Amino acid sequence: MQIYKDMEIGTAKVTTEEMDGIKHYLVDFVSPDQRYTVSNFKKDSESALQEILSKGKTPIVVGGTGLYINSLIYGIDYPEMEFDLDYRNSLMEKAKTDEGLKELYEEALKIDEEATKNISSTDKKRIVRILEIYKETGKTKTEQEIESRKNGINYDFRKFVITWDREKLYERINLRVDIMLKQGLIDEVKAWLEKYKNCPTAFQAIGYKEVVEYLYGKISYDEMVEKIKQETRHYAKRQLTWFRKNNDYIWLNGEDGNEKNVNIILEDWRK
């Protein structure tokens, strides 16, 4: 979500000070009302990588969205598809109930067992994605990935995941939400709603959709705060589930501090 303009606080977008003179790519360059797909990301990322490599530098790809990362480093091409929004909305509506989400998960499991077993049974977005891809292309997500991977891998890379003790991770998430609200998240969303009228992807960002519900009087302030914290915790859990099922990651303990983890990364890179 950090690709989108005017979404600074809710995405914890890197500040100029935090950049510390290092050029950052693919941040704050897409209007929230524009459609931006994994195919767009792959194309833009490859362009950025080539620019960095041409300078004799080592690119560092940072993010938590496994599908996007895999598309880049494994050379997976997802076809440009105009998804049926009515179909997507019907799936998301069904996924609002536990029973409906369970049915969608079981349906995805029948269609594409390999892709489905690698995600959480409560991961609405990825379950819907599996069903959408099959409906639009007649091929499963796994079939498309296998086909694309025949092209080979273009990069020498290492993959690292930073993890925390669960309780401490959740404490940090809760604190992060409190800080965002103090920094003016609600005002940011108000300004955003006035400027952009139709943002189907950006509207689904955690923190934004809950504030929108609050501003429209659907939930109270306290419900909004708790919902943002809960949704963020659930997202973190889904991320960890994704990474654990892809066993080529090197795990780093966030509590060990930056210096120790940087040394681990550098030692591994020299092998």
163: DSSP letter:
E
Residue 77 and residue 194: Cα distance in Å, rounded? Answer: 36
Q: What is the pLDDT of residues 199-251, one digit of tens each?
A: 777 778 899 999 999 999 999 999 999 999 999 999 998 888 888 877 788 99
CA-based torsion, 24, 27, 30, 35: positive or negative: positive
56: left (phi over 0), alpha (psi -120 to 50) or beta: left
| Percentage with pLDDT > 90 across the chain | 48
Q: What is the pLDDT of residue 199?
A: 78
Average pLDDT score over residue span 147-162: 81
Instruction: Give me the amino acid identity at 55.
Output: K
Residue 111 and residue 131: Cα distance in Å, rounded? Answer: 8
Residue 61 and residue 140: Cα distance in Å, rounded? Answer: 27
pTM: 0.77
Do residues 251 and 268 make contact, with C-beta atoms less than 8 angstroms apart? no
CA dist 150 → 147, 190, 205, 233 (Å):
6, 47, 33, 36
Q: What is the pLDDT of residue 132?
A: 86
Q: What is the pLDDT of residue 79?
A: 64
Q: Where are the alpha helices (DSSP H) in the chain?
A: 16-19, 38-54, 66-73, 85-94, 98-111, 113-116, 124-137, 141-149, 166-183, 185-195, 208-215, 221-244, 258-270
Q: What is the pLDDT of residue 147?
A: 77
Q: Which residues contact 184 (CB under 8 A, 6 or more apart)?
A: 9
Residue 30 and residue 205: Cα distance in Å, rounded? Answer: 15
Question: Would the pLDDT of 56 be above 90?
Answer: yes
Question: Would the pLDDT of 65 be above 90?
Answer: no
Vertex 219 angle, CA 213 and 223, to 5°? 110
User: What's the mean pLDDT when you consider all of the chain?
Assistant: 88
Secondary element (H or E) of residue 250: strand 250-253
Q: Which domains does the chain have, with CATH numbers?
A: 85-149 (1.10.20.140), 158-271 (1.10.287.890)
Average pLDDT score over residue span 135-156: 79
Q: 3-state class of 236 per DSSP?
A: helix
Do residues 66 and 243 make contact, with C-beta atoms less than 8 angstroms apart? yes
Q: φ, ψ for residue 252 (rounded to 5)? A: -120, 140
